[in-house]
Amino acid sequence: MDPYKFLHIKRNADGSLTRPIFVPLTTPSDDPSAAVLSRDVPLDPSRGTWLRLFLPTDPPASQLLPVLTYFHGGGFILFSAASAPFHDSCCQMARKLPALVVSVEYRLAPEHRLPAAYDDAVDAVRWLRRLVDPACPTEAADPWLRGRADFSRCFLAGSSSGGNIAYHAARRLLVEEAEDLRPVVLRGLVLNQPYFGGAERTPSEAASAGDRIVPLAANDLMWELSLPEGDDRDHVFCNPMIHHRRRGTEEEAGRTGQALLPRCLVRGYLGDPLIDRQREFAAMLEEQAAGTVALLDREGFHAVELFDSSKAELLIADIKQFLSDSSLPWQPPPPESAVASSAQGADPVCPSCKY
């Protein structure tokens, strides 16, 4: 099986890809009679990134909505926030959760290898933070978000590679850089069939040569095109689980026993070649997150919700329940420097934990 043909891509001499548009693109709509309004706003014009906002029209204007920042799938190399399946999914989530959905148009590999997509994801969260900065001029603030968003109930969400992006963006913001995002509060991560891998095959991967969505050759190629050049699938971007095992509990102990991440929802299906990795990932989150909801024992295949409306309804029901259950504030751990100062008897400087 030719993975390039399967993925509808062609590798060019300069290393870039030619991507025929085999999935239709959808334009945003501000039709006031629609159940959901949508429009695009720039994120970083120098990088060609932008955001598609989705606002449901049903809830009363006085009701503040949770903010779901969403990252589409496509193995880091395909699709767009404007691709019809992802646009439609965001419309459904905005209407049925309900929520204000921010879908991120991030840069694709191999033209922009990882961590470029993570950089763009972090930029999107910082964009939210800037909107509610008291120094932000009223005329510069987005009217949908400024007037309708509950910034104390923010979530990162993604399907497949988008779930990978959501996880790594959260780790960078909350663990590696320990940013003070207030008044933005990340309450949870919604990781639907998250895309991870490793150099050593799992049983579900080894049996996936003929899979109709993620055949093994295509899986390998997407990682080859996405990871930093010269790195294999045990790179932390692909296999954070093996790095977690190597670290043991040292990182968690250095954080005074507090959870590194907010609550996480991990979903997967038994017929997905990635299911073994998703189980490993959920087990890792048990040691990293404030709580982990793992729904990994249902029948289905990778991206099934894009083909089966009943599975799409189930996905939304799971997310709605998770958002409801994640209503209590979560306090991120202090940065390592603050922990060290506290241990020496000094007052910790911890802007991240003053909620």
Based on the residue annotation, tell me whether 80 is a catalytic residue of this protein. Answer: no
Report residue 341 as tokens: 């100062």
The gap from C-alpha 161 to its chain's centroid, in whole angstroms, comes to 8
CB contact at 8 A, 240 and 198: no
Catalytic site residue from 83, 89, 159, 160: 160
**Exposed e or buried b per residue across 224-234, where buried means at least 16 C-beta atoms within 10 angstroms of its C-beta:** bbbbeeebebe
**Catalytic-role residue among 103, 302, 326, 352:** 302
Element (H, E) at 65: strand 65-71
What is the 8-class DSSP label of residue 25?
B
Look up residue 311 and give its amino acid.
Answer: K
Active site residue 16: no
Determine whether 87 is an active site residue: no
Give 243's contacts (C-beta < 8 A, 6+ positions apart): 236
Residue of 272, 276, 326, 352 with catalytic role: 272
**Is residue 297 a contact partner of residue 316, using CB atoms and an 8 Å limit?**
no
Q: Catalogue the active-site residues.
A: 160, 272, 302
